[in-house]
Every structure is written in C-alpha cells, then in structure tokens.
Amino acid sequence: MEVPRTRRARLLHHVDENAQVVRGKTIASRPKELGLTVRGVLGEVNANSEVHREYSGKVALSTNQIEKKIQKPALRRNYCHVQSKIDTGLSAKSIQVSARPPLRREESTAGFATRAALLTRAAAKENIKRDCEGKENVLQGKVLSKEIKKPVKLIKELKDKKPVKDTAESFRKLKIGESLIISTRFEENSYYLPDDIEDIDAGDNNPLLMSIYIKDIYRYLTHLENIYPIEENYLKNQSIITGNMRATLIDWLVELQNQFSLLVETFQLAVGIIDRYLQAVSNVPKEKLQLIGVTAMFIASKYEEIYAPSIEDFAYITDNTYTKNDIIKCEKQIMTKLDFCLARPIPISFLRRFVKAAHGTSKNHHLAKYLVDLCLVEYSMAHYRPSELAAAAICLSLHLLSSAPLEEVWSPTLSYYSGYSFSHIEPIIRKISKIVYNIEKSKFQAVYQKYTSASLAKVSTLPQVKGTAIYDLIRSS
C-alpha cells in the first residue's frame, strides 16, 4: 500500500536534519556540518562523539564501530616539539588510518647482507637459464633437456656450495650481470691490530652496532672528509658576509634547534651545509643569509629527523620574513650547488666512536658535545675537519674531568682509532680552551644556555671549565 505524501514527509522529518537522502540511502553529512571537532596533529577530539559515516558503501557505522572493525589505533604524529610555540595549522586536518599493510620482515634492511648473497646465486641461476634457451623443447608441459652438461654442473656446484657466513664477505662479492665485482678496497688482513691497541668492537654482538664492518664505515667517513673540505678563511670570496655575521646566524640556529627539539645531528649537518654553500657561492647579499640558514636547517631536518617540522613552521620562525616559495627556491639553489650530496660527515659521528675508544662516561660525552658546538659557532674553527674537532674535544673533556695529564689522556688506542697523534690535536685543544674560557664575555650565548639543561648534565656550568686546567692551557699557548 502506498504511503500518503503527508505521512512520507513526516517520516522524512524524523531523519537527522543534517543527513542527505540519495536514492533511498541515508548518507551522513560531513563532520564540519555536524559541529564536531576532529583531532589533527595538535587538536583535540571528542572520543565519545558518534560521527556517522558510510563504511564500505553499505552500512552507516559510528566512529567507534569503525575503529573496532579496523582494529588499528589512529595514527599520531609526534609534533610536540613545535606545539608550544608554533601553530602548524594542521589541527583542522583529520587523521587517516593507513591502509598500507605493515612492513614485512623481508622488506626491512636488517637482512640485506643475507639477501645480497641470495641475489648472487639467483643471478647465476638466471644466467644459466638464459644460456639454456633455445636448447630445450617443451612437449605437453614437460621439459626435455638436450645436451647441457656444463650448466647442470654449475647448478650442482651452487647447491653443494655452503652459505656465506660472513655478511661482510657477501657485500664484497656481488654479481651484477655477467661480471663478479670483488672489492679490493678493504682487504681481509687490513685490520690486524697491534698488541698495545684494544679491539673496541670485539664484544659487540648486537647486529645494530655493525661491528663486522664498522671499521670500513669510519674509514669511508674519513675519506669523505677529504673530499668535502672547508677551506680556512673561506669567506674571503664574500664581499658582505663576515665571520661575525655567520656566528650570529649559527647562534640563532642553536635557538631554533632547541625550540623545535631537533637532533644534534640536524644542527651540525645544517652548519656544514651553510659552510659548503657559502664557500661555493660568492657575493651573497646580507638579506639572504638568514634564508640560507633556515633553508639549511629545513634540509637537514628532512635528512635526519623522523618527524621534521613543516616548511610553514620554518617560514613562521623567521617572523614571516620569508615565504614558503622563498625557502623552496633557496633549497633548489643550495642542493644544486652541493650536487645533491649531503654525505659530508659531522663531528658527532666521530665523537661517539672516540668516546667508546676512551671508555668515557656520559658526562665526558656531553662535555665534548658542548666543546664541539662552541667550535661550530666560531668562524676561525670552521676549517677543521669534523674528526679533528671531535678528537680534540674528547681529549680536553677527559683531561678536565680527571686528574690525568693531557698527554696521558690521549692513549695509543685513541690515537689509533682517531688517526691523530697528540701533537696534531694539541693546537686545536688550546684554541678550544680559549673559546670556553671566554664564553661568558661573548655575545653568542645560545650554546652556553643550551648546555645548562639537566638533560645535558649542566656541563656548561661545571667548575672545571673555569678551573686552573683551562687557564694553564691558555697561558701556555
């Protein structure tokens, strides 16, 4: 029986006011029209609100029911490092649950070395299969092989061959196409340590510490230092930019690092990008220097951080002096001049290695980081290699926090793993001592204030950095 029009209108009246009726299906309106708040990166969400949506195009379910069906928590990006001072403007965006399946174990990089050996065998089998083409006849789904004795022999040898146990060996022997590439850069017998040198990697059974090829890694980092050097007094090509202006910029970047809670790797990489760019480009105008600094920090944060601040955050931190398009344009210019290579190592990478070789404490590590950061602000120290700064910093840190003489602190093990003798780093140590002793008179206080934090052991306020040991080093220089 047909429902009268008046009754039909009355029934439609009881439907939600904000709902839409399309082809007899009730489709929920948008959350904005319902007056509901949706949690973005920094916003809030009403967990008890029942937001009606059409799920899978069939039945309208509530938010809680959808979450139970998906059985996956809503993704949250950790943006707490900017929420106190910077409004990212992302609070109005809804959080989308990723439909991508979780990363499988074989897709991760943990078993790369093992997969490399398997790929080597797979490439050999593929070559054999290619050689056998044209020599086989297929009849009714059965393969009748002709005379192919040599490939069969090779397959048997591959099956009988034992798997490679050394993961470093699999990296050194990777078959690409028809040729077998054998690395001759790092020989097997090149790591026999002298009797008086401790093997600091002997007890590292954790695969994440990469003890098998950690020596190759640091030898390669040392090689990169020589490829991307910073010349002494490199600002001589600049007609306007001076060392004092560079120090002002780096001091501001330290405050930016603290405000965004960025990693120390991000800050040190940004300083390296700035120095390399200013060395490659001449006559940079004064009004562009801050843009170069904030863009370098933006590039470094994308390279190092897991949750990097957005480009809008970096534009906001400059008090909107520069726009988003200005930063993007400057980023293209910097990366072009650097040949899109950010591989130049940073001091913190070497410092961790040297602290391990010295069996230093966390206090030694924090004090050495403080000394390195002070050197990064100082223009007269910009030409030293990252490993030189790290070696001099850890040596001075060990000396200040112990009663041992400076020469005895630099042990043969430290000299071996750093590659520097004490006579090489002694002039650098004396320059660092002068910078530390006069820090309170300097107008660049960002690094000093940063290391007054309890999380960094308040190393900038230690009495040793103002004691007689520092004064003696300055007086004898």
The string of pLDDT tens digits covering residues 383-414 is: 999 999 999 999 999 999 998 999 999 999 99
Q: How confident is the model at residue 173 (pLDDT cuts 50, 70, 90)?
A: very low
Higher pLDDT pick, 114 / 340: 340
Q: Which whole number is the average pLDDT over 46-71?
A: 43
> Of all helices (H) and strands (E), which one includes residue 61?
strand 59-61
pLDDT for res 298: 97
Give the pLDDT band of residue 180 (cuts 50, 70, 90): very low
d(CA 376, CA 38): 44
Strand ranges (E), 72-221 = 136-139, 142-145, 173-176, 179-182
* pTM more than 0.85: no
Name the percent of the chain lying above pLDDT 90.
53
- Give residue 104's Cα distance to chain centre: 22
Which of 121 and 415 is assigned the larger pLDDT?
Answer: 415
Q: Please state, rounded to an integer, the average pLDDT across all residues of the chain.
A: 74
Cα 284 to Cα 9: distance, rounded to the nearest angstrom: 73
Q: Sign of dihedral through CA atoms 19, 22, 25, 28? A: negative
Residue 303's pLDDT is 96
Encode pLDDT of 296-349 as tens digits.
999 999 999 999 999 999 999 999 899 999 999 999 999 999 999 999 999 999
Q: What is the pLDDT of residue 163?
A: 47
Do 243-338 and 347-476 agree at the fold level?
yes
Segment 79-100 shows an average pLDDT of 39
Per residue in 204-250, pLDDT (tens digit) is 888 888 888 899 999 999 999 999 999 999 999 899 999 999 999 99
pLDDT tier, 195 (very low <50, low <70, confident <90, very high otherwise): confident
Q: Is 105 helix (H, G, I), strand (E, B) or coil?
A: helix
Q: What is the CATH number of domain 347-476?
A: 1.10.472.10
Whether residue 105 is predicted with pLDDT greater than 90 in this model: the reply is no
For residue 446, give the nearest of 249, 212, 156 by alpha carbon: 249
Place of tokens 């200005």: 326
The answer to whether residue 110 scores a pLDDT higher than 50 is no
User: Half-sphere exposure of residue 84, counting CA atoms within 13 Å on the CB side?
Assistant: 6
**Of 168-172, 256-260, 467-471, which one has max mean pLDDT?**
256-260
Give the distance from CA 9 to its chain's centroid: 62
Q: What is the mean pLDDT of residues 174-198?
A: 53
More confident residue, 28 or 302: 302
- What architecture does CATH give domain 243-338? Orthogonal Bundle (1.10)
Long-range contacts of 320-323 (CB under 8 A, 24+ apart): 321/290, 321/291, 322/290, 322/291, 322/294
What average pLDDT score do residues 268-291 get? 96
Give the per-residue pLDDT at 193.
84
Q: What's the pLDDT at 389?
A: 98
How confident is the model at residue 184, as a pLDDT?
36
Q: How confident is the model at residue 57 (pLDDT cuts 50, 70, 90)?
A: very low
| Domain regions of the chain by residue span | 243-338, 347-476
> Can you give the C-alpha Rg of the chain in angstroms?
31
